[in-house]
Structure 1
Amino acid sequence: MTTPLTLTPGRRPDGTAMLTVVGEIDMSNTESLAAALASAPGPLVLDLTDCEYLDSAGLSILFPHADRLELIAGPLLAPVLAISGLTGLTTRH
C-alpha cells in the first residue's frame, strides 16, 4: 500500500521552481518524489511545511539534489533534516 503523498509543482514570484509536499514520504512513494525532483531542473524550493513524516528512503532521494535545493520545513522535520546532515548541504527555512 502506498502512503498518501501530494506533490504540487509551482513557481515562486521570482520564477524559481517550487515543489510543495503534503503527506508522508516513505519507501512506498519515493519513486513519485524522485520523478518530481527530476522533472524540475535547476534551483528548486522544496516546501515540506505540510510533510508529516520523512524516513531514510525519502532522505536518500533528497541528498543527490542537495546542491540545488532550498528547503522549507517546520519544527517537526527540522531535527530529521539536521541529524541527517542535509541542512549542512542546503538552505533551510
Structure 2
Amino acid sequence: MTTPLTLTHGRRPDGTALLTAVGEIDMTNTEALADALDATHGLVLLDLTGVEYLDSAGLNVLFARADRLELVATPLLAPVLTISGLPDLTTVHGL
C-alpha cells in the first residue's frame, strides 16, 4: 500500500519552479517524488511544510537532486534534515 502523498506543481512570482508536497514521504512513494522533481527543469523550490514524515528513501531522492533544490521545511523535519547533512548541500528555509 502506498503512503498518501500529494504533489502540486506551480511557479513562484519570480518564475522559479515550485513543488509542494503534502503527506508522508517514504519508500512507497519516492518514485512519484523523484518523477515530479525530474519533470521540472532548473532550480526547484520544494515546499515540505505539509510533510509530516520523511524517511531515508525520501532523503536519498533529495540528496540526488540537491544541486538544483531549495527546500522549505518546518521544525518537525529539522532533526532529520540536519542529521542527514542535507543543509550542507542546499538551502533549507525554516530550520
- Which one-letter code corresponds to 1:35 in the other structure? D
- List alignment gaps of at least 5 residues for structure 1: none
2:46 aligned counterpart, secondary structure: strand
Equivalent residue number for residue 9 of structure 2: 9
- Which one-letter code corresponds to 1:23 in the other structure? G
* CA–CA distance in structure 2, aligned partners of residues 46 and 21 of structure 1: 7
* CA–CA distance in structure 2, aligned partners of residues 61 and 81 of structure 1: 13
2:7 aligned counterpart, secondary structure: strand
In the TM superposition, residue 68 of structure 1 has moved relative to its aligned partner by 0.9
Q: TM-score, normalised by structure 1?
A: 0.98
- Which one-letter code corresponds to 1:50 in the other structure? G
Moved segments of 4+, more than 6 Å? none
* CA–CA distance in structure 1, aligned partners of residues 41 and 82 of structure 2: 25
In the TM superposition, residue 23 of structure 1 has moved relative to its aligned partner by 0.1
- Which one-letter code corresponds to 2:8 in the other structure? T
- The alignment covers a number of residue pairs equal to 93
In the TM superposition, residue 78 of structure 1 has moved relative to its aligned partner by 1.1
In the TM superposition, residue 62 of structure 1 has moved relative to its aligned partner by 0.7
The CA deviation string for residues 16-54 of structure 1, in whole angstroms up to 9 with x for no partner, is 001000000000001100100100110000000010000
* CA–CA distance in structure 2, aligned partners of residues 82 and 18 of structure 1: 22
Equivalent residue number for residue 76 of structure 1: 76
In the TM superposition, residue 67 of structure 1 has moved relative to its aligned partner by 0.8
Equivalent residue number for residue 54 of structure 1: 54
